[in-house]
Structure 1
Amino acid sequence: MTTAPTSPAAATPADLFACLDRLGVPHRTVTHPPVFTVEESQGLRGTIPGGHTKNLFLKDKRGTLFLVVALEDAVIDLKGLHRRLDAARFSFGSAELLREALGVEPGSVTPFAAINDTAGRVTVVLDEPMLAHDPLNYHPLVNTMTTAIAPGDLLRFLRHTGHEPRLVTVSDEAPARSGDSPD
């Protein structure tokens, strides 16, 4: 099953690529079978170089929404992270809330979904060590493609969408840099 943007108002991959082009952001996209988890996506490592990531859609007890983006092998301690972000305790956001806030389906969560959060409901949190990898790879709103982008261009895109990303170290363990080159 391919997961497409979920509402008529949600941006499509073509809309995203047009936005990146207008910003002058170089990007490269590879089409592949649908992947829903980090484990499933690991089969693509030989064809897609760069930093590979995971994305967590979280809601704190106060109702604040967060999108946490980190390298795929980062160990994220949600209890410690909520303290670092001065947030209440975290739980995972529901699929319905994900569709409503970011316009994507589970398995397609991505920082590119900030394009759909025109109300600014979601705080984007980037794992600072992730930004040392170039390029970084994310789904372009669907899980049948992966788009590579430079870290600085990701920041520029997020700011363009009205999201000033919070840069933090999401885990105490520094992930290995194995994502920088294909196996």
Structure 2
Amino acid sequence: MRGEAGLLADLESLAIPFTAHEHAAVFTVAESDAVNADIPGAHTKNLFLKDAGGVFWLVTVPSDARVDLKALPGAIGCKRVSFGKADDMQRLLGIAPGSVTPLAAINAEPGSIAVVIEAGLATAERVNVHPLRNTATLGLSGAAILDLLRHWGHVPRAATIPVQDKP
């Protein structure tokens, strides 16, 4: 597993601009709201899922999105999904719950996980994600995230993610 050091090396070698912010550990979107107030750009949440066919998915959406998990499979092209287990996350991505990020795909063998980025994030100028730990945030473009994923041998998808209406 290449980890954060490998991530930072790839950002440098590929000349991808980013900003880094250190902060207190955050485990939920609600906890990250206070941190996010001081960091410009789109903020994210990430879903580690497993479909009925046994395929693992990492889906990145805007932090305020209430993903419709019943409609999601149709949007991303899979069967019914459920949340993946922490031990699978550790085995495939080398991270623990609370630190989920599309950048963890650096640790995943190509083809071991399907990575989906919400379409608006994929084209955003600045997307904020964890650098494999929940005590920091990196801001980089959606295009740069897709470039990194491809560099690591993945075939990321940008998709319109179905959401539920807010109460």
Q: TM-score range by the shorter chain?
A: over 0.9
CA RMSD of aligned residues (A): 1.7
Would you say the 8 A contact 1:34–1:144 is kept in 2?
Answer: yes
**What residue ranges of structure 2 are gaps of 5+ in the alignment?**
none
Would you say the 8 A contact 2:110–2:152 is kept in 1?
Answer: no
Q: Please, which of 44, 49, 53 is the counterpart of residue 53 of structure 1?
A: 44
Cα separation, partners in 2 of 1:119 and 1:158, compared to 1, 3 Å: closer
Alpha-carbon distance in 1 for matches of 2:31, 2:50: 25
Alpha-carbon deviation of 1:119?
4.2
After superposition, where does 1:1-183 map in structure 2 within 5 Å?
10-172=1-163
The one-letter code sitting in structure 2 at the alignment partner of 1:16 is L
The one-letter code sitting in structure 2 at the alignment partner of 1:101 is L
Would you say the 8 A contact 1:126–1:166 is kept in 2?
Answer: yes
**What residue ranges of structure 1 are gaps of 5+ in the alignment?**
1-9, 176-183
| Number of positions where the alignment pairs a residue of Structure 1 with one of Structure 2 | 166
- The two structures have a TM-score, normalised by structure 1, of 0.85
Please say which of residues 47-56 and 126-135 is displaced more in the overlay. Answer: 126-135
Alpha-carbon deviation of 1:14?
2.2
Alpha-carbon distance in 2 for matches of 1:174, 1:160: 36
Runs of 4+ in 1 over 6 A off after TM superposition: none
Alpha-carbon distance in 2 for matches of 1:152, 1:21: 16
Alpha-carbon deviation of 1:40?
0.5
Would you say the 8 A contact 2:86–2:97 is kept in 1?
Answer: yes
Alpha-carbon distance in 2 for matches of 1:138, 1:131: 13
Alpha-carbon distance in 1 for matches of 2:3, 2:107: 10
SS of residue paired to 2:24: coil
Report % sequence identity. Answer: 42
Alpha-carbon deviation of 1:111?
0.4
Once the two structures are superposed, residues 147-179 of structure 1 have per-residue CA deviations (whole angstroms, 9 ceiling, x without a partner) of 01111111111110111111111125799xxxx
Cα separation, partners in 2 of 1:45 and 1:172, compared to 1, 3 Å: closer
Cα separation, partners in 2 of 1:108 and 1:77, compared to 1, 3 Å: same
Which residue does 1:3 correspond to in 2?
Answer: none
Would you say the 8 A contact 1:58–1:65 is kept in 2?
Answer: yes
